[in-house]
Structure formats: C-alpha cells, structure tokens
Amino acid sequence: LESKINGAANYSYQMFFSAEEGVYYHKNLVQDSKTPANVQVSPLGTETIYIADGDVFIYDNYNFEVLLKDKIKLKLKEDPVVNIINNGDGSSYFILTKNGHLYKANTVKKDVEIVKLITTKHISLMAWNSNKNLFVAAYKNEVFFYDPIKQEETAGAVLDQNIHSLFVNSKDFEIVLGLENGELRVLNQSFNETIVSKRLSATPITAVLVDPLDHYIYAGDTQGRLYTYDRLKKIIYLDREIHDGAVTLNGIYQPSRGKKYLITTGNDNYYKVFNTSRLEPNYLRIVNLETTKIRENFVKIRINESKESYENRVTTENIRKILEATRSAVTDSLAKTKSEIKPELSLN
C-alpha cells in the first residue's frame, strides 16, 4: 500500500487495512487520514466501522459508500484508538484507546451513538468471548472478563509476564496469549489451568491466532517473524521472517471448499496472504469425521425397508464391522496422501 499498515480486519475475502494515513479496501484507499486509522468488519460482512481523525464511520461493504458518520468528535489526538471489536452479532462495537478509555458505538436512527463505558481497571487489549457474551481484557500481566452491560470486571488471573496479544478460541473454550518474554500461553476459559506454554521468540509476541480447523497456533513477534506452533507434536513447525516489525494476524476460512488463509501485516507497506490449507492436518480428526458420516448413513432407514430388515441389518456387530473397515480404508488413504504430498505454508 502507499502507507504503512498497522492492522487489518476482514470477513472472508473482504479485507480492510488500517494504515498510518487512512483506511484501505485491499489496495484501494477508502478514507484518508492525518493520523493512524483503525478498522473492524461486522460479523456478517455487511458493514465496516472505521475511525479516521477522530471521526467514526459506518461503511457499506456492498455499495462501497459511507452509511453513517458520528456527530461527536472523539478526542483522540492525545489518546488514539488501539483496538475495535464487535459483540459477536455486530449490533454494537467497542472502541479502546491507548490510555484505556472504553467506548461503545451503536447505530441509532441513521446516526452513530457513542457512549463512554465505566471501567475500574485499565485495559490495553480486548477480544470478544461468544461463550460468555463478555469480552476478555488484559492490562500488563493481568487478564480478566469485562461485562459491557453491567460495566464491571469479573474473574481473572495475574500472570508472571506482561501480555502483548490475546485471542479467544471460543470453539475449544480457550484464551490464547502472547507474552512479553516471547512465550505462547494457552489458558482454559476459567483462567485457572495452563494448557500450552511454549517459548517461541526472544521478543514479545504481538499477535496470536488459532487455526479454525486443525491443531496449529500462529504467532507473530515484534521483529516481523511468523511462527506456526504444532499442538500435537508440541514443536515450532515453521518459523520465518515476513515483515519489518510487529506482526498482526487475521484469517480466512471457507469450510465448504476446505480452504484456509492467513493474512499478515507488520509495520511496513505490505500485507501478505499465506495458504494454510496444505499444512499437515489432524489425521485423527479426518478419520473420525469420515467414520461418523458412514455410521450416520448406515443407520438411516432405507426406502421400503421393513422394521425386521432394518433390525437385522443395523446391529451392534454390523456397525462395529463397517466402522472398522471404514477406519482402515481412510487411514490407508491418508497414509498414501501423506507420502505423496509435502505439507507446506505457502505465500499466495
């Protein structure tokens, strides 16, 4: 891009980038700005909220036009925005500033309503947790929940290192953290159990992201390096320098096509898209998926099948045999595929 990129937000292939001099949709400038901009895409991809020079905009992603603009100038010259998140369904957005001030943005009657929220603890990082309808917040070495309705902090934990990045893995009820000492740490949702603790870098981890399908966690550091951590083998699968500075991470996942991509930025003028679809999958997941499909199809009543015929066919022993045969066939097929294809993380 024509300006240094400081972050990204996307819904599938709709990619917006916040830069030092504006907001971009792919390579096209959407909004210029004299100060670093910030952007967040709605969960359904229909709209985007972005902040430029203290103004809050709601942008129509289909007609490529500004729908709403706030009439209240946020006083962000001395206290710039560092993060924008949504509440999971896109009805509200939360805006966090460098000094820890928290705002809620609602679209009301063709206007943007900005409300300042009460916080008793300083916040420097935040991410929405759809399991609890709260967001996970962090400051220095403390991580905790914040309730935007009650406007209060709830249970949390104090770590031995400052937190530089966080990601909520709602699917597995986990909180993923990047720490100042270069460590990747995964906690359970109650903050009382450490699931993963792995030193990846000698510098702070500025971004963490969980693979939507398989057993990988992606992380970036302040030196522009990208790490791919394999949770099954408990090793750093890949490690490469991709940017000039602090890395940010976003993902694209298309379940129907089995396609996965990683979007990276890092204090330079480039965004990069990596194809993660060809990384070595979790073979047990695939075997279980295929055997489940076969079992569900086998136990269905067939057209014109009598009750007696069904009971003779669908027995415990027959189910066991067909599942064993399926598991063996799928395992053999995967073994052949594994020997023929070299897994890789490729730059698109």
Contacts by 23-28, CB closer than 8 A, 24 or more apart = 23/50, 23/52, 25/64, 27/1
Query: pLDDT tens for residues 110-125?
Result: 667 788 999 999 999 9
* 117: number of Cβ within 10 Å: 17
Structure confidence at residue 288 (pLDDT):
83
* Tokens describing residue 60: 């129509």
Structure confidence at residue 286 (pLDDT):
79
Q: Burial code of 295-314, b = ≥16 C-beta within 10 A, e = fewer? A: eeeeeeeeeeeeeeeeeeee
* Strand-strand pairing, 216-221 and 205-210: antiparallel
Structure confidence at residue 141 (pLDDT):
97
Structure confidence at residue 332 (pLDDT):
78
Cα dihedral 222→6→43→87 (10° resolution)? 70
Structure confidence at residue 199 (pLDDT):
97
What is the model's pTM? 0.85
Structure confidence at residue 183 (pLDDT):
98
Query: Which residue ranges in the chain fall short of pLDDT 70?
Result: 70-77, 107-111, 335-348
DSSP string for residues in 201-263 = -SS-EEEEEE-SSSSEEEEEETTSEEEEEETTTTEEEEEEE-SSS--EEEEEEETTTTEEEEE
